[in-house]
Structure 1
Amino acid sequence: MVAGTSIGAVIGAMYAATQDPDWIENKFKEFIDSEAYKKIGLHRLVPTGQPNSSIFQTAATYMKNQIIINLSNERLGILKQERLSEIIDFMLPVKTFEELQIPFSCLAVDLNSGDDVIFNSGNLVEAIAASSAIPGYIPPIEKDGMLLTDGAVSCPVPVKTVRKMGADFRISVDVGLNHFEPLENPNLLQVLGRAEQITSTRLGEVKSEKADITIRPDTLNAFWAEFDKIDQLVKLGAEETEKQFWKIRDNLKKKKSIHHKVIQFFEYISGIERDQAA
């Protein structure tokens, strides 16, 4: 079973539909070479200049460069929701949760309440669009009185979700920043952006603490729209996973022991009680 937020929701759904990593990689390359990718212009969003630009900082810079700051009261994102849905529709071989080969959930966050919203049935494209609506880039999605945006805002690594799905061995993949470059004569946006980056990175670390194994590949501090780095990132991800192989195997053996299952049962019951109390 798989759970994901943001780009993790896209990758997770693709895997749940095919269980074929090679197909996923090839599909992304097909998308990068497509006219749809060129038409959307995602490559124009990639930041230049100051390293480690945050999502919000880059969005603000883009809007300033396009002289559309004055539209901020009217526009909620740089790209239209329809564009995001078109991309997701292109990437997925199935359109509903029920067509997936293995259980899958994705998360969005409701801007009205601050609550996480879990999707695990129905329209797959709509659910992933909500989970991937990056603030500043994609307008939040209105649904049932909620205003849904990127799930990574509150839960970049949904370990708790797969636990609720029934997983007794949980592997988290954290693709947050690995390191921070020194700020050189930072301006206001850069200071705010760095603060947001640190918060997001630390949140990912905290959310991963409940996982049995956490894989943190070197992401080259790539911006989310730098799809041209796919070969490098896939290679680095595979290398980091291989490093964790024996640790994963040993932990799986421990999980199978009766003693561990008894401990795990009481931890699970305690977790339910804490959730109910909250």
Structure 2
Amino acid sequence: MVGKLNSNKTETQESKPWALALMGGGARGLAHIGLLEALLENDLVPPIITGTSMGAIIGGLFAVGYLPREIERLSHELSFSRLAKLRQAKIPIPDKLVDYLLLESYQQRLLRQMGRRKGDVLQDKLRELVGEVLIEELPIKFGCNAVDLVSGQEVDFTRGPLYQALRASMAFPFVIEPARLPGRLLVDGGLINNVPIKLARRLGAARVFVPDVHRSLKRMPAKRFDSTLIMVHRLVQVVLTDSTESKLPEADLIIKINPQVDTFDFTRVKQVVALGKKVALAHLDTLKKFAAQGT
């Protein structure tokens, strides 16, 4: 949990605001909620927030005016509740079965997405939460990203309806079906860039703070690769890890937060949120100095 602060700033940088870049991470990303609560309580509200996947959801809701405790409550509605219920089941359910159910469901929903449109419950929920507000109208400057499967390119959202941007950024492969916009099929931005630091700089930030909630990839015994599903799941892990670790060096301040949960373990929301706040408060002096560099 050691913070890394790069103090080599120019006069031009010091005249500009700082940004908070929130990476994706599924349930691990819920630590961002506690961190935001600590920042809010200490008058350290970020002038700029960018996010990917879970980071986009939390950052976007905060930017539109939701308080951290409200976001924590909403996370129960927006998280992968089907999976959380399976994990909480009293009878043992092998991870492979859970993964299979997710993939089978995803394939069926993806086929529907590519065929006749039957509505998007998740997008409707996001629209209900944030209304028709445009990103460029938010009181906190905000941006998030997604990946367009049609072009294979990263797409940054800095304008337009907030609910559409959040829906696109959170479409985690094999769990949530892609979001559809004219000419685009959009999925989780973390596949290409899980830490939108450059986006924060394009929005005007001179210094970018990243709470690092990712877990480094561990070796996986060859004997465990006994199905195509396991291989696909591992491939997604490799891609997400690379798209995180390759971007982190671009940050000016990194504080490690290491929730003891897996990406899809939404059974310990309160503990993860509390850890995020605890770590932020432990580095409060560093955060205050970091924010004050631009004043």
Same fold (TM over 0.5): yes
The match for 1:200 among 227, 240, 260 is: 240
The match for 2:188 among 144, 150, 154 is: 150
Measure the CA separation in 2 of the matches of 1:19 and 1:130.
Answer: 20
The match for 1:27 among 74, 89, 92 is: 74
The CA deviation string for residues 92-121 of structure 1, in whole angstroms up to 9 with x for no partner, is: 366332442211111111112221111122
SS where residue 209 of structure 1 aligns?
Answer: helix
Within the alignment, does 1:11 sit opposite 2:50 as a pair? Answer: no
Per-residue deviation, 1:76: 5.8
Within the alignment, does 1:209 sit opposite 2:249 as a pair? Answer: yes
Distance of aligned partners of 1:218 and 1:85 in 2 relative to their CA distance in 1, 3 Å threshold = same
Unaligned runs of 5+ residues in structure 1 are: 258-278
Which amino acid in 2 is paired with 1:193?
Answer: H
Which amino acid in 2 is paired with 1:20?
Answer: L
Per-residue deviation, 1:157: 0.9
Measure the CA separation in 1 of the matches of 2:251 and 2:176.
Answer: 30
Which amino acid in 1 is paired with 2:49?
Answer: V
1:228 corresponds to? 267
Per-residue deviation, 1:236: 1.4
SS where residue 245 of structure 2 aligns?
Answer: helix
The CA deviation string for residues 123-150 of structure 1, in whole angstroms up to 9 with x for no partner, is: 1111111111222233323323222111
SS where residue 220 of structure 1 aligns?
Answer: coil
- State the superposition RMSD in angstroms: 3.5
SS where residue 120 of structure 2 aligns?
Answer: helix
Matches within 5 A, 1:56-71: 59-63=99-103
1:164 corresponds to? 202
Which amino acid in 2 is paired with 1:162?
Answer: A
Identity of aligned residues (%): 28
The match for 1:239 among 266, 269, 278 is: 278
SS where residue 25 of structure 1 aligns?
Answer: helix
1:265 corresponds to? none
Within the alignment, does 1:131 sit opposite 2:169 as a pair? Answer: yes
Per-residue deviation, 1:163: 0.6
1:141 corresponds to? 179
Per-residue deviation, 1:185: 4.0
Moved over 6 A (4+): none
1:177 corresponds to? 215
Contact 1:178-1:218 at 8 Å conserved across structures: no
The CA deviation string for residues 147-203 of structure 1, in whole angstroms up to 9 with x for no partner, is: 211111111110110011011121113332256486594123334433432331232
The CA deviation string for residues 226-272 of structure 1, in whole angstroms up to 9 with x for no partner, is: 4332101101111222233333344456x459xxxxxxxxxxxxxxx
TM-score after normalising by structure 1 = 0.71
Unaligned runs of 5+ residues in structure 2 are: 1-47
Matches within 5 A, 1:18-97: 18=65, 20-28=67-75, 31=77, 41-44=82-85, 48-50=93-95, 59-63=99-103, 74-75=111-112, 82-92=120-130, 95-97=133-135
